[in-house]
Structure 1
Amino acid sequence: PTDDELELQAKYDQQADRARRRDDWSAYTSLFGKKAYPEIDIVYSGQLVFSVEGYSHGLRRTFADG
Structure 2
Amino acid sequence: MSFLGLRKWPVPASTFRQIIKPLWPFFVASGVTFWLVSKAQDKMVRLPEYAHDPRNPYAEKIAKETHH
TM-score over 0.5 for the pair:
no
TM-score scaled by length of structure 2: 0.34
Larger helix share, 1 or 2:
2
TM-score by length of 1: 0.35
RCO comparison, higher one (Cα < 8 Å, 6+): 1
